[in-house]
A and B are shown apart, each in its own frame.
Chain A
Amino acid sequence: MKKWIIFGLSLCLLACSNSSNSPVSDFEFLTPRPFGYINGDEIRHKIILETRNGVQLQRGGLPKRSAVNRWLNVSQVTVSEAKISGGFHYEIDLVYQAFYAPLEVKMLTIPSFDLPLAQGGNNASQTVPAWHFTLSPLRELSIRKDESGQYMRPDAAPPLLDDTGVVYGLWVAFAVMLSSASGLAYVYGYLPGLPKRRVFKRAAKKIASLSDTQMVEALTEFHQALNAVNGAPLFQHQLADFYQRQPSYQAADAQLRWFFQTSNQCFFSDKPPNPNGTLATLRQLCAACLVLERG
């Protein structure tokens, strides 16, 4: 009896010594359910591999993201590697996508492939077995009707995404755009209902086209622009009141007083103003008022 026990233990040790020669210490092939797939479904396989004695997986031998055959694609390959005592631990995730349109439930196979392994100059491999599964048609091939109505029915309308925030944002953006455009139009005097905002623009344009000999026209044009801004004829002694109503023009006080003195000399005095440089100064004043007009 004792001899038999020793013989059995020897066999066990022998078995153990045999397995220690394999480069792979652990291999697991994790697969999902093998049925219930339809055209276009993705199938995820996970391979767990542990190697011994520094044996490493040759990643170049893994399936690539490409078509395996006419109906099967590899759409994703992910490998993670970790060092363990004496070897490596690999986790390989494979995502297949099947494009097969069967007429009835059909058994298909994801083909087997080898995982190449290497240690120094020695090569080995671990076979990943083929995997069988069934693929079903989306519907029956024949179209039939029953008493209750049409067999083919339209899909239920998908629920709409909640776009309240987007619509609200769109309205806010639209309002900002509109107000900005209105503001610019107001500043540049493009609004037809607000002619005051463009009076100096018109005056500057007109005065720019006049020559030194047309001083009377230029002064009259500027008078009319000032009157338009004031809402009534503006005279020099009313400038203080004018600044109360239009405070921004206070900045041009000295120039405006020069203008009125020049105008009085031109229109009401026996001694007309010196024409040299007067029109240029008036143009500068008009440009300054144009800036003030635009705020």
Chain B
Amino acid sequence: MTNNQLNDWRDNALRFEQQLNQIVIGQTVAVRHLLLAVFARGHVLLEGNVGVGKTTLLRAIAQGLGGDYQRIEGTIDLMPADLIYYTYLDASGKPRVDPGPLLSHRERLATFFFNEINRARPQVHSLLLRAMAERSVGAFNQIYHLPHLQVFADRNRVEREETFELPAAAKDRFMFEISLVTPSDETVLQELMFNPRYHDTDQLVQEMANGQIAYYELNEVAASIQAHIHSSDKLKAYALALWQASHSPAKYGIRLDDVDMAEMIQAGASPRGMSYFIRAAKTRAWLEGRDNLFPEDLQTVYAVTMAHRIFFSPLYAYRKDELMPQLITGILGQIAAP
């Protein structure tokens, strides 16, 4: 892909971002991260309160990408087979087996939204692991490829009853964990309350031009972006330090109040996580119109790629919501480049 083509794609991407920000207002940071995930081809774990616009945002993305959109609700009785096929008696009374949500769209499936993923059992999470990592599913004695699949999973933080915490392996397959919080800007809140445009989400989503981003070209575009953006030795050393600090923050002089830093971390970011990290950072550099990766690209995506990949020891796990932002801020604030 030539530079001019990449520039055209960047213009499209920024226009797409602008439209998303007009549909879901007050979420510019989350929209930017979602755009990065789309062009870095990473799966996204969304987290946020009820009714902040997660589904609307994902529907708008699906509309903009133009591929097929599939949504499934996580429930405690959902089983892996329910994603692959379902059985029923047809009009003539004969048993029928039809493809489930994952298989029904095949190559055309671009956006798969797993609502309330933490309500589903770990068996379902396991099935999803392969679908996310390899973009393929085995069923009916054959492999079904889903080359354009991008999973967006939603996790509700309000209710904890009858939920299953995502295993580390499942979390690691998500490129980002993006938080959507209620906007604090009063103008935005008033607009959301009183402007009837935001009351009908179906009509709102229809405002997004359908298929303006060709989902079937995204893999190629993403690969070109990764090849196009270069990293200097200094930048590599900085990225390595950021990674190592996720394992041993004390080595980099990071201290948190009332925390034994030597005991705090059970596991830091995985190599796959760091690969996602660099992919996202390169995509960010591309969106900024550069050929080279800068430290600010890494910093912009560090929190969303790392927070769900760093695991605290049981002693500190219950304080994760409080300690994780401090740790991320400490790592970014303590490591210099150059």
Q: Considering the chains assembled together, what is the distance between the CA atoms of A273 and B308 in angstroms?
A: 38
Judge whether A223 and B295 touch: CB under 8 Å: no
Judge whether A235 and B296 touch: CB under 8 Å: yes
Q: Which of B113-121, B170-178, B311-319, B329-337 contacts A (4 or more CB under 8 A)?
A: B329-337
Q: Considering the chains assembled together, what is the distance between the CA atoms of A271 and B294 in angstroms?
A: 13
Q: Which of A15-23, A154-162, A262-270 contacts B (4 or more CB under 8 A)?
A: A262-270
Q: Which of A186-233 contact B (CB under 8 A)?
A: 216, 219-220, 223-224, 227, 232-233
Q: Mark B227-252, 1 if CB is under 8 A from A, else 0.
A: 00011101100000000000000000
Q: Which of B211-234 contact A (CB under 8 A)?
A: 230-232, 234
Q: Considering the chains assembled together, what is the distance between the CA atoms of A216 and B338 in angstroms?
A: 10
| Given A267-B232, A270-B292, 15 more pairs with CB closer than 8 A | A219-B338, A220-B338, A224-B336, A227-B336, A233-B333, A233-B334, A233-B336, A237-B296, A264-B292, A264-B294, A267-B235, A267-B338, A268-B232, A269-B232, A270-B232
Q: Considering the chains assembled together, what is the distance between the CA atoms of A235 and B291 in angstroms?
A: 19
Judge whether A232 and B333 touch: CB under 8 Å: yes
Chain B residues near A263: list those with CB within 8 A: 338
Q: Considering the chains assembled together, what is the distance between the CA atoms of A39 and B269 in angstroms?
A: 104
Judge whether B234 and A270 touch: CB under 8 Å: no
Q: Considering the chains assembled together, what is the distance between the CA atoms of A219 and B338 in angstroms?
A: 9
Judge whether B336 and A268 touch: CB under 8 Å: no
Shortest beta-carbon distance, A203 to chain B, in Å?
Answer: 15
Judge whether A268 and B333 touch: CB under 8 Å: no
Chain A residues near B235: list those with CB within 8 A: 267-268
Chain A residues near B232: list those with CB within 8 A: 267-270
Chain B residues near A58: list those with CB within 8 A: none
Shortest beta-carbon distance, A207 to chain B, in Å?
Answer: 15
Which of A224, A233, A268 interacts with B234 by CB under 8 Å?
Answer: A268
Chain A residues near B35: list those with CB within 8 A: none
Judge whether B334 and A232 touch: CB under 8 Å: yes
Which of A219, A233, A268 interacts with B293 by CB under 8 Å?
Answer: A268
Which residue from chain A places its CB closest to the CB of B231 in the assembled complex? A268
**A–B complex contacts, Cβ < 8 Å, 20 sampled:** A216-B338, A219-B338, A223-B338, A232-B333, A232-B334, A233-B333, A235-B295, A235-B296, A235-B299, A236-B296, A237-B296, A237-B299, A264-B292, A264-B294, A267-B235, A268-B231, A268-B294, A269-B232, A269-B291, A269-B292
Chain B residues near A267: list those with CB within 8 A: 232, 234-235, 337-338
Q: Considering the chains assembled together, what is the distance between the CA atoms of A220 and B234 in angstroms?
A: 12
Judge whether A270 and B291 touch: CB under 8 Å: yes
Q: Considering the chains assembled together, what is the distance between the CA atoms of A224 and B337 in angstroms?
A: 10
Chain A positions near chain B (C-beta within 8 angstroms): 216, 219-220, 223-224, 227, 232-233, 235-237, 263-264, 267-270
Which residue from chain A places its CB closest to the CB of B292 in the assembled complex? A269
Q: Can you list the 5 inter-chain pairs with the closest CB atoms, starting with the nearest?
A: A233-B336, A232-B333, A267-B234, A268-B232, A237-B296
Chain A residues near B292: list those with CB within 8 A: 264, 268-270
Judge whether A270 and B230 touch: CB under 8 Å: yes
Q: Considering the chains assembled together, what is the distance between the CA atoms of A269 and B295 in angstroms?
A: 11
Chain A residues near B337: list those with CB within 8 A: 233, 235, 267
Chain B residues near A233: list those with CB within 8 A: 333-337
Q: Considering the chains assembled together, what is the distance between the CA atoms of A227 and B335 in angstroms?
A: 10
Q: Considering the chains assembled together, what is the distance between the CA atoms of A112 and B333 in angstroms?
A: 102
Chain A residues near B230: list those with CB within 8 A: 270
Q: Considering the chains assembled together, what is the distance between the CA atoms of A268 and B293 in angstroms?
A: 7
Chain B residues near A235: list those with CB within 8 A: 295-296, 299, 337
Shortest beta-carbon distance, B54 to chain A, in Å?
Answer: 27
Shortest beta-carbon distance, B252 to chain A, in Å?
Answer: 11
Which residue from chain B places its CB closest to the CB of A219 in the assembled complex? B338
From known contacts A270-B230, A270-B291, infer whether A223 and B296 are also in contact, taking CB-CB under 8 Å: no
Shortest beta-carbon distance, B241 to chain A, in Å?
Answer: 11
Chain A residues near B333: list those with CB within 8 A: 232-233
Q: Considering the chains assembled together, what is the distance between the CA atoms of A233 and B335 in angstroms?
A: 7
Shortest beta-carbon distance, A260 to chain B, in Å?
Answer: 10
Which residue from chain A places its CB closest to the CB of B295 in the assembled complex? A235
Chain B residues near A236: list those with CB within 8 A: 296
Residue in A263, A268, A270 whose Cβ sees the most chain B Cβ within 10 Å = A268
Q: Mark B30-51, 1 if CB is under 8 A from A, else 0.
A: 0000000000000000000000
Shortest beta-carbon distance, B240 to chain A, in Å?
Answer: 14
